[in-house]
Every structure is written in structure tokens, then in C-alpha cells.
Chain A
Amino acid sequence: MRAFDYARPSTLVEAFELLSAPDGGVKALAGGTDLLVGLRNGAIRPRAVVDLKHIRELAPVIRADKECMSIGANAVLAQLTASEGLRRDYPALVESAAVVGSVQIRHRATLAGNLCNASPAADTVPALLAYGADVVIRGPSGERRVSVDNFVLGPRETVLTAGEIVTTIVLPTPKPGTGAAFARLTRRRGVDLAILSVCCLVDPEGEVRFGLGAVGPRPFLVRDSAAAVVSSTAAEQFAALVAKASPITDVRASHDYRQAMITVLARRTLAAAIERSSWVSP
């Protein structure tokens, strides 16, 4: 591995300063499961890395607050899959966290890192989109809060500017009776990236939301407030969903296969989400 410098700040203020280097040559390090791969294969060549794991304000806590659930930036995916509160209220997010990499990877990989890495195939992002999650960002010029939908701009690109750090991911409490489910397709069961991933959420009034991953330059959200996907116009609705995607052909699957599978996974996750919800389809 190429040499770089390392810093281990214990406060956000120190980290802002370190990460604000104007040349952009300083990278934040969380679990390192994306960053170390990039450092090893030379895809990124930072002058220095700043370890976020000792920063108090990013503590790995998953906390139920009034009308929301907050997940600290240093929380790893194994914590998400073990969390009683998340399993009860956000089962589709837990399902998506549970398929990332392997046990070893989930012991290190953070939810914030999965989001900040901004891969089109990041598995937890479709679920964060469907649950309407927000990202709390702090930086040299203060705090701001953006929706996950507005956070990821494209492959490896987010709204974060120099020195900014994600501190918390906030999920609003789903309305009672909400059901949601996640599914993905891979070539093999273990340690593989998604060909396609879908999270579907159905609320008690019948609003249906789909979060889709790996079929566009970034994961994206499609809302269907009239529950048209379960009406007589369902076929048109699914066609509209497919039309929003722009899948590519790569080593994992072809454009055509991905496109064909969107409807399949959308139908499956919709059926599972309805099953988990209190909504009775007309």
C-alpha cells in the first residue's frame, strides 16, 4: 500500500480542520471497507486519512427519540442487524444491512460509510430512501440536514463539501401499520454486490414507495401515493417504474436482465410489504 499520514481526532472540530485541506487530499476513515480497498488498488491516493472512530459526537449509538430513530455515524451494520428497535420498526433496513458483505465486513462497515461512499449498488440506501431518512451533516460552517434522496448525487458523489462529516442518520417513525420489505439479486449468495436491489414500503393509507439500487447512477425513490401499483393499472405503474431506471451492462448482469428483473423484485417486495402492513388492498 502507498504511504499516507494518519490522524485520530477525538472531537469534530479537530476533524473539520484536518478534512478541510484545500487540495482535497485528505479522506475520512470509518470502517475502511471501501476506503482500504481503494487505497490498496490505488483508486484513491490521499495524502492523509482521518480516523473518525474516536470522535465522541459520532458515537455508535442507535437511539429511539421522539418520532424518530437516530443512528450515529460510527454504528456498524452488525449493530443494526442486532438492534431490537430497528428489527421491530425498520425490518427492511435490517434486511438490507444483513446482506452486506460477510459477518467480518458487517463488524466494520458503517451505515454512514455505505451512504457516503455513494455506490449506485449500496444496499442500505434503497431502504433509507423508502423510510424517508435524513442525513445530519456538520462542518466548519455549522449543521445542515438533507434527505437521503438529496444526499447522493451520482456515483461516488455526494453533497458533502470539504471538511463536512455525516454525524447521524435519522429515520422518522413509520406510521403504525406500515409494512416494508427488501430484496436483492446477486450472482451468488455470499460477498457479492447487487445486480439489483429493491425496498418497498406500504403505509396504512396505501401510499407505496420503492427505493431502487444498482439500476441507475444512484439509488432513487419512486412514490406512488394513490397505490396505483395494486390497482387495475398495475402493469402501467410497473412500466413507469422501469422507465425511471437506467441500468447498465457490467460484469454482474446485462442491461436487459436488470430491466426485466425490476418488475419481478418490485412485485415480490410489494407483496411482502403489504403482508407486513395493516393496509387492505381494495
Chain B
Amino acid sequence: MAPTNRAGHLPDRVVCPYCRAGIDPARVSIVVRDARTGRVVRDVTAKMRASGPQGVEPAELGHTYLVCERAARIDVGASAPAADDGWENDDDWTTREASDTFASDTTTVAGDATVSVFAMPPASPVDDDEDEWDLDTGARAAPNPAQAVPAETEDDGERLPEPHYVPYQYCQLPDPLNIGLVGTSASGKSHLLAAMLHRLGEETQELARLGIHVQPFAEMWDRYVQREDVAGFLSPARRTVIERTPRRDPVEFRMAYVVISTWGGVQRSRVVSFFDVAGELFDDTTAQARLQFIYGLDAYLFVGDGNSLYGWDGKRHGLRNPSGFDTVLNKVNQYEFQQAQGEGRHPDIPLPKPAAIVMAKADLQLSQGERWVAKWLECDDEFNLATVDEESEDVYVYCATNGARSWLRPVVDCEDVTLHFASATGCDMQTRTRRDAKGEPLLDLNGEEIQEGYYNRNQFRHMRVLRPLLSLLAMAGVVDPNEIGHAHVRGVRRPPVRKVSG
């Protein structure tokens, strides 16, 4: 492999998953942050650049971040999320290798220039004289209002904080798969995600059968499961409710994994990350900058609240509230259109991204005696992915004939879609007085007893939560698309051969 000047073993270009700016690995600074406070502890740029991941203690690697700030960004316009930003997407390997060589050669020849020429968008002026100041005058400034914000900004709940931090591990592998949960407030996104991630850790054997090995970002996982509410939710003894995601929650992945897939005889690794933001952001026009990440999502997990089909009287009357899906699809479609215009090509219709639509809280529909839900929710075939299309069809029919047509928009807008019934909890939430270890009720500042939501421990179960995720991974080519009977998936280049088992 050719030597490069890539900082600390990073690919030629990293796309910030939060603001979509291209980050130049040669200019970016790398820092270690405190696990609890998130404050920057020290700058390790020099060390990382010299010796890669060995530049920090192994224990620190999970707390190492790239700083996404103006000085490190390349032209935002060049970082079309749909454009080739990974190896997988490159159609001709040989060309790719050759240009790699050339790029590195060029930089080597240029002395110890820290600019990776290859990473530059062709139209951008090359900073030959390494005049940092020039870069900041706006020659390559982001045409994006989010980046036009001067200097550092506080997190005010509307804009993306500046600068922001991208986990180093995330940047190590090319072509990440960013999955975003989309759905209006209280649709059950956070519960579904917690259940999914928990099951992902539980079912290693089944996943191995599907040809994938899933490895969480260790520190991120610890932080996630140590969150008070998530810990309570996952603890079999407690089963408390997961809190609603605050609007000002940092726009960060909730969780990320390295997924190593071995099916098809080739071993590949990809980062799979999950975004779960507050649902109200999807209904709010002032939150533009916080929603910037949706343009960079590679796959969507649309979450609809099955319960919203029912009124207070318990009768089914169809959806009355917006699903939140439209906001995202409109924006992403428009972005795709503009990108295409800019690049002089036809826009990709439907969007070149897979989506899974999940009817969350299906346990409630089950208890309403919905036969469509009953048919699937209680089946014991979570890993029998061959029936995914059949289920999708039924969910589609159910939504279309029961007044939930607005949940079906992604079916038309995204190039590949599956639909699912799932329940993260298996039962409805109840409330009780929160008590301390001695059983005394806890009081709030006004002296009133604090209530907490919880689930009946005996009825609590995760129902079919992994299926949507596995289907999505299959549609994204992480799991063999053949498992769900789909073909022609981005990045999967061989005619898939069915595994012969047994």
C-alpha cells in the first residue's frame, strides 16, 4: 500500500456526519475529551498523525474525536451524501488504486505538504502555499448557513454547536452507514432503538448465522447503557420508561458499531451508526441546522406510532397527526434535486436510500384485536428474514386500509423499503410513585411524590425489534440482501449466491 500523509490512518476524506462538511484529515485536529463532561482534555493531533491510533492510550481511543471546525472543512458542496464517498461505491477498483498512488505521490513530491490533493474537490482552488488565512477568507467557505455562523456557538437548541466532535473510530473506516430514526414526538423511537441495540448484543449467534459480527464502540456503549433511563429500561428488575429525548440533546449518534460481514466469502467492515433525535425537531422549521444530519443519512428507520390510529375512545379512526416523515423526505428530496442540478445530472428518483418503516407499539394494536398485527407480532420468526416481504405487504395493506396512508410515503420515495410490526415493550406503560432504596416515596421540590413510568415485568418483552434493523442492513448491503430476497443493492457487486446451510 502506498504511503500517504493521511492523518492517523484516516481515509482520504471524512464527511462530518453532523454537518455534512468534508473534513480534511490533513488539517483536522484530534483531541481527547472527558468521558463525562465532554470537555476537551488534550490535543493529540501531532501524536495521532505520527503514529496513528497508537498515538493515544488504548483506553483513550474511544474518547478521541476529530474536531469539526471551519479550519478543517473542505467545500461543503462537494460532499454530496449520495455521491461516492467510499470504497464500495467505486466502480473500478484499478482506477481507484491508481489515482490513490498518484495522489500520494503528488503530496510526497510536494514535500511535507499537509494537503491531500486527492481529497480536494476538483473545482476548489488548491491551497498551494498553505496559507491557512486564505482558507478562512471564504474562498472555500461553506455555502451553508450552518457553517456561516461565526466562531464558536453555544448549544441553543436550534443550531449545531460549533465546533463539534466526530468520534475518531467513526472516521477510521470509509463508507459508514448512518441510520436515522425518523418519527414525530413520542412515536417510540428511543424505546425501539434501546430494544434493538439490546437485542443486537444478545443475539450474536443468530447474527453470525447471517454472516455478520457486530462490535459496539465500547465507550459509547458504556455511556449509553449507563444512562439512568436506559439502564432502568433494560434492567429486568426495573423496566422503567425511557425519557423523552430532549430537544437540546446533542445531535450525535446514540450508538455506533463496527459491523464485520463475512458472507459471500469477502470480509468487509463498516461503521453503522444510529441517530435518534427529539421527534419535535421534525415538525419544527427553526431547527434546520440541527436537522442537517438528515442529508447524510444512508438509511432511514421510519417509526410510526401504532397507537395514534386510535382516538381516546379506543376506536380506530386513522391518523390525525403528522407523521414527521414528510418533513424529512421533502428536505432530502429537495437536496437531492439541487445536488443533481449542481452536478448536471438527473436527480435520483426514487431516493437512492433504503428505508424500513416500523409500526412501533404494535402490542397495543394486538390488544385491540387487529388481525393483521396478530398474524405477525406473535410469530416466532424474527430471524427468518425470508418472510420480510410478505410482512411488508401486509403492513402496507393494513396502513393503506386503516387511514395511515401518510406512513407509506417512504414506500414510494425510497428505492427499497420494508415494513414491519414491532413492539419494544410488549405492554403499555403504567405509573407508580418513585421510591428510594428503603421504599420511601421520593418527593420533588414542591413536596409532591415523583411519579415514574414502568412496564409490567411479566408482560414486558421485545417483539420483533431486530427484524426492521436486519432488513435495513440487508437493503444496505451489510447483511446479504439475498436473506430478504432483495437484489440490486448499492455496493453489492456479485450476483448473490444463496448460502447452502447444513
Do A and B actually bind?
A: no
Chain B residues engaging chain A, CB cutoff 8 angstroms: none
A residues near B, CB below 8 A? Answer: none
